[in-house]
C-alpha cells in the first residue's frame, strides 16, 4: 500500500529570494489573483512592504492583515476577515507564530498558503503542525502543508542569534524523538514509518556534518539550518504526526510552558530538555558528542540560563508524561523526587551555567 504525502510544490532558499520573486512560479500563481498577506509584528512589516512592492503589478488585489499573536481568538478574527472576500492565496510572513497562524487560517478557509519565514526558530517554516494558544495553553494541531516556502537568505543572515539557536535546538531534538518513537513501537504502542524516521534522522546528521567543516559562513549556516528544518517538516508530513520530531524532550518543554510560565523560546527549552531525555535513554555518547556543538552554537546547557529554578525544572519533568498521550522514555521510569534530583545533578552540573545569554528579543 502506498501513501500520499503533501510537500510544498515550490521551495526557494536563496539570496534575494524576495526581490527575485517575479522570476518564480509563485509569481505566476498570483497573476490576476487575490492575495491575502498575514504579517507578523515588528520588523516583519518592512518585509511585508517589500513583498507588496514585488507583487503589486501581478496580483489583482492585495489584502494585508496583522497577526499580533497565535491565540485562537486571533485566528478566528483573521478567518472572519478573510471569508468576507476569500482570496486565492495566502502569504504568511514572519516568525513561527505568524507562520503557524497562516497555516491554520489557510487550512480552515481552504486557501493555499505560501510561507515567507523571517526567522528559523522552529520547524514551523514547513510542517503539517501548528502551535496555537487556547485558554493560555499551547496546543499542537494538524494543518495542511504550505504550497510554497520562500526563504530569503539575505533576510535570515540578520536573524537574531537567539532565534537561530532556538531553531537548531528544535532540530537536534529529532534524535531523542526518534528514540522515543522506536521505544513506543517496540512496546506495541504505535506503528513506525521508516521513511519518516530516515528523513528526520538525516536532517540532523546533515546539519552536524555541516558544522564539522573547518570554516562555515553565517549564510551557509542559515541555509543548512533551514534545509534541515524543512526535512523535519517533510518527515512529519510522511508520518502524519509530529512523532519523528517530538518526543519526551518536547513534553518537558510543554510542561515548562504550562506549569512554569514558559520563560524561554520553544527551541531553547527543547535543547535544554534534550540533554535530560538522552541521558535517560542511555545515549551517553550522543550527549557527549553534543557538548562541543552546544558550546559552539551557544545552546543552553543549564536551566538557570533560561530563567528556571531547580524546583521548576523538577516540576516540569514530573508533569511531562501527562502533557499528552505519547509513550516515551519518561514512561519507562518511576519519576520519584529522589530520582529526578539525582539525574538533574548529573545532567546539569554547576559548571554548565552561564554559557547561554538571552540577549535578543523573540520575533512574532
Residue 359 domain-assigned (yes or no)? no
Q: Which helix (H) or strand (E) holds 90?
A: strand 89-94
pLDDT, residue 66, reads 93
| Residue 150 lies inside a defined structural domain of this protein | yes
Task: Tell me if 132 is assigned to some domain.
Answer: yes
**DSSP assignment of 297-345:** HT---SGGGGT--HHHHHHHHHHGGGSSS---GGGGS---HHHHHHHHH
Same domain, 241 and 147: no
Backbone CA torsion sign across 197, 302, 222, 162: positive
The last residue of one of the domains, among 93, 126, 156, is 156
Quote the mean pLDDT of the chain.
92
Residue-wise pLDDT for 13-71, tens only, equals 999 999 999 999 999 999 999 999 999 888 899 999 999 999 999 999 999 999 989 99
The answer as to whether 360 is a domain residue is no
pLDDT of 135 higher than 90: no
Same domain, 152 and 19: yes
User: Do 182 and 311 belong together in one domain?
Assistant: yes
Residue 1 confidence (pLDDT) above 80: no
Does residue 209 sit in the same domain as residue 342?
yes
Q: Are residues 189 and 304 in the same domain?
A: yes
Residues 14, 108: one domain? yes
Judgement on whether residues 180 and 276 belong to the same structural domain of the protein: yes
Assign 286 a pLDDT band (cuts: 50, 70, 90).
Answer: confident
What's the pLDDT at 4? Answer: 81
pLDDT band at 297 (very low <50, low <70, confident <90, very high): confident
Residues 275 and 227 in one domain: yes
User: How much of the chain, in percent, has pLDDT values that exceed 90?
Assistant: 76
Q: How confident is the model at residue 180 (pLDDT cuts 50, 70, 90)?
A: very high
| pTM to 2 decimal places | 0.91
Give residue 353's pLDDT.
83
What is the count of structural domains for the chain? Answer: 2
Residue 364 maps to a domain: no
- Looking at the structure, do residues 325 and 185 belong to the same domain, yes or no? yes
Query: What range defines the domain where residue 343 resides?
Result: 161-352
Has residue 361 been placed in a domain? no
Same domain, 296 and 313: yes
**Residue 150 predicted with pLDDT over 90:** yes
pLDDT of residue 352: 84
In a domain, 5, yes or no: no
CATH number at residue 30: 3.40.50.1970
- At 299-323, the pLDDT tens digits run 999 999 999 999 999 999 999 999 9
- Per the CB < 8 A criterion, the answer to whether 256 and 317 are in contact is no
Compute, in degrees rounded to 10, the torsion defined by CA atoms 265, 269, 272, 274: -130
Tell me what the mean pLDDT of segment 252-269 comes to.
Answer: 94
Q: Would you place residue 296 in the very low, low, confident or very high pLDDT band (cuts 50, 70, 90)?
A: confident
Segments in 58-148 forming alpha helices (H): 72-83, 96-109
Residue 147 lies in a domain: yes
The whole-number pLDDT of residue 357 equals 61
For residues 86 and 221, state if they share a domain: no
**pLDDT band with cut points at 50, 70 and 90 for residue 337:** very high
Q: Where are the alpha helices (DSSP H) in the chain?
A: 25-29, 44-55, 72-83, 96-109, 153-156, 161-172, 174-186, 194-211, 218-239, 248-260, 266-280, 284-297, 310-319, 337-347
pLDDT at 362 over 70: no
**Is residue 360 scored above 70 in pLDDT?**
no
pLDDT of the residue at 118: 93
Question: Where a domain ends, among 135, 156, 177?
Answer: 156
Whether 147 and 219 map to the same domain: the answer is no
Give, in order, the Cα–Cα distances in Å from 350 to each of 280, 301, 353, 354.
20, 10, 6, 9
Last residue of a domain, one of 104, 123, 156: 156
Residue 240, domain CATH: 1.20.1090.10
Amino acid at each position: 500500500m502506498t501513501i500520499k504525502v503533501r510537500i510544498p510544490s515550490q521551495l526557494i532558499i536563496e539570496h534575494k529570494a524576495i526581490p527575485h520573486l517575479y522570476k518564480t512560479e509563485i509569481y505566476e500563481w498570483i497573476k490576476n489573483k487575490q492575495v491575502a498577506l498575514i504579517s507578523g509584528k515588528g520588523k516583519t512589516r518592512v518585509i511585508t512592504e517589500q513583498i507588496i512592492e514585488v507583487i503589486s503589478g501581478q496580483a489583482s488585489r492585495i489584502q494585508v492583515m496583522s497577526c499580533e499573536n497565535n491565540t485562537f481568538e486571533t485566528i478566528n478574527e483573521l478567518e472572519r476577515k478573510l471569508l468576507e472576500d476569500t482570496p486565492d492565496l495566502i502569504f504568511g510572513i514572519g516568525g513561527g507564530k505568524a507562520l503557524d497562524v497562516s497555516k491554520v487560517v489557510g487550512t480552515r478557509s481552504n486557501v493555499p498558503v505560501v510561507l515567507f519565514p523571517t526567522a528559523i526558530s522552529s520547524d514551523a517554516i514547513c510542517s503539517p503542525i501548528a502551535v496555537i494558544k487556547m485558554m493560555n495553553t499551547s496546543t499542537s494541531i494538524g494543518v495542511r502543508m504550505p504550497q510554497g516556502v520562500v526563504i530569503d537568505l539575505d533576510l535570515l543572515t540578520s536573524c537574531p542569534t537567539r532565534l537561530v539557536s532556538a531553531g537548531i535546538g528544535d532540530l537536534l531534538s529529532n534524535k531523542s524523538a526518534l528514540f522515543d518513537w522506536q521505544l513506543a513501537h517496540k512496546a506495541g504502542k504505535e506503528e513506525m514509518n521508516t521513511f519518516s524516521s530516515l528523513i528526520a534522522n538525516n536532517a540532523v546528521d546533515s546539519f552536524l556534518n555541516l558544522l564539522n567543516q573547518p570554516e562555515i559562513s553565517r549564510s551557509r549556516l542559515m541555509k543548512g539550518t533551514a534545509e534541515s528544518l524543512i526535512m523535519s517538516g517533510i518527515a512529519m508530513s510522511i508520518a502524519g504526526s509530529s512523532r519523528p520530531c517530538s518526543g519526551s524532550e518536547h513534553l518537558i518543554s510543554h510542561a515548562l510552558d504550562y506549569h512554569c510560565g514558559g520563560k524561554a523560546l520553544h527551541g531553547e527549552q527543547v535543547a535544554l530538555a534534550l540533554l535530560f531525555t538522552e541521558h535517560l535513554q542511555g545515549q551517553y555518547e550522543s550527549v557527549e558528542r553534543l557538548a562541543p556543538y552546544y558550546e559552539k552554537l551557544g545552546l543552553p546547557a543549564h536551566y538557570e540560563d533560561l530563567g528556571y529554578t531547580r524546583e521548576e525544572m523538577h516540576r516540569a519533568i514530573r508533569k511531562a508524561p501527562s502533557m499528552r498521550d505519547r509513550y516515551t522514555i519518561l514512561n519507562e521510569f518511576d519519576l520519584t523526587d529522589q530520582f529526578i534530583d539525582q539525574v538533574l545533578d548529573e545532567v546539569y552540573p554547576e559548571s554548565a551555567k552561564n554559557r547561554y545569554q538571552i540577549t535578543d528579543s523573540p520575533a512574532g
